[in-house]
A and B are shown apart, each in its own frame.
Chain A
Amino acid sequence: MHKLLIIAEHDGEKLNASISRCVTAARQISDVHVTVAVLAADPSAVAAQAAALTGVDAVITVAAAANAHAVAAIWAPQVVALVRGGYSHVWGPSTSFGKDLMPRVAALLDVNQISDLMAVDSAHTFKRPIYAGNAIITVQVAAGSVVVATVRTASFEAAPAGGNAAISAVSVDASLPTHTRFVSIAQAKSDRPDLQTAPKVVSGGRALGSAENFKIIFSLAEKMGAAVGASRAAVDAGYAPNELQVGQTGKIIAPQLYMAVGISGAIQHLTGIKDAKTIVAINKDAEAPIFEVADIGLVADLFDVVPQIEKALAG
């Protein structure tokens, strides 16, 4: 029996959607027992959400004021103490949270980490992308070493609700550093769908030319009930905030529909959208590489067609 621990990402109130995808990945190992660990100031609400996921066998909580924010240097020694209690695997999502925390956990356990795990072949054999997704490697973890990994959430479906796992509080014996202090988080609160989980995404690139012009992307997305994404060029130029960047070094997403507007389709951008079901590209250059991956392509000036699309959807 493999004992797998998933470290919950949350904001204090809500379990992050990435965790249900980690559960799906974990269940692909045969003969596995899945536990979700919730570190928080007050874990109760998040623990209840984790316990309700199908495929979760147990939820453990570690309540401490120091756990109010996910500071890797503070969480890692606690996670290590939990793992030493008898887990063969410890996984987190391949989000900014998991990427920050899990390698620190791995180093403290004196093992390597598998980054962006995208397929489970067996309890010790996995697939992951390298070179911005241009090659997929199969990696084998030596028997007997703890398998630390981040799970590429776009590769796995969300686990459905319907579980009823037992929740238990545990205490950990770990000395926590004071050298790292959380100060603040500036997050744009919006009613727009979340980029990482939305079924539809409309993304804008450098072609938008200004933050003012980029508003037509927000407006089209709103009409379509879609989340907004952006290329690195659009973020660098300040047309869109950093959390909207899609790609190798931004967010990797797998929506039903991805609409790329005025985006050329650089390798680094395509990495982020390869798992999208349907890709629509609008670009005035028929030679743009985005058309090589698009399911539906339209060669046109975006400033002409975006308002037309909006109108067509309204009418």
Chain B
Amino acid sequence: MRKILVGIKRVVDYNVRIRVKPDNSGVVLDGVKMSVNPFDEIALEEALRIRERGEAEEIVAVSIGPDDAQQQLRTALAMGADRAILVKHDGMLEPLTVAKTLMAIVSREQPELVILGKQAIDDDNSQATQMLSALWDRPQVTCASKVEIKGNTLSVVREVDAGLETLEVDLPAVISADLRLNEPRYVKLPDIMKAKKKPLDVVEFASLNVATPGQLTATHYEPPKARAKGVMVKDVAELISALKNKGLV
């Protein structure tokens, strides 16, 4: 395989506790730690392993987002991606716009494999993989936990509600990484230095001529309903009687 494209989304770090703005217009993002979407690290790690096995030659990391997303692309380059593309876009992005933008990059780059994350942990949409593969008219395999390349086909195990499903698909294809696909490597300091010299192209979103329907509008943000304060019991006897009172045992 010549080329693998990997999606790298800049998201609020998974350790941050998100708060809704008092005026319900959005969530507080000022000064919040930003990171690579954790599933995208897994996606990239899988691409790196495929390349290290000699089954791919080049890995291109792509992000659609603000100028600051260059930081996350540098992280991807430090992990081992060969080059990066930032499609510069400020503001909200609908899932279909993300997919169409990725499709524009796919048309330019002609990869044999695209690996995205199972979901972006900010919007929790879980749509880009399915949409991109639909637009490209190619196979999709979501929630991959094992990927094997057999010539021009992929054998992929995916995590589904019932257990583990195996699909066989022809390349090119789009897959999304689930948690147990691999454990991403840590970046080492020398790699961060080296990454500074790797190519990072910045493309203006407008130059791609992606149609943006603007069909979904978020009109109101609110915090989830708080749960009522609970009670502490001191031993098993008290626990059992509390459960009996509620008719639960």
Which positions in A face B, CB cutoff 8 Å?
A: 11, 71-73, 76, 95-97, 99-104, 106-108, 110-116, 125, 129-142, 145, 177, 179-188, 196, 200, 224, 232, 235-236, 241-243, 248-249, 251, 256-257, 267-268, 274, 278-280, 291, 293-300, 305, 308-309, 312-313
Contact = CB atoms under 8 A, between A and B. Distances in A.
B218 A139 contact: yes
B63 to A, nearest CB: 19
A135 B20 contact: yes
Nearest to B163: A187
Contacts of A224: 249
Interface of B: 12, 14, 17-20, 27, 94-96, 99, 118-119, 121-127, 129-135, 137-140, 142-143, 145, 155, 159-170, 173, 178-180, 213-224, 227-228, 230-240, 242-243, 246, 248-249
Contact of B124 (A111, A115, A300): A115
A2 to B, nearest CB: 17
B163 A96 contact: no
Contacts of A296: 230-233, 239, 242-243
Nearest to B96: A112
A291 B39 CA distance: 28
A143 to B, nearest CB: 10
Secondary structure type dominating chain A contacts: mixed
A232 B122 CA distance: 19
B95 A181 contact: no
Nearest to B145: A242
Contacts of A102: 130
Nearest to B97: A112
Contacts of B143: 96, 100
Given A279-B230, A297-B230, A182 B167 contact: yes
A108 B126 CA distance: 16
B223 A136 contact: yes
Contacts of A114: 216
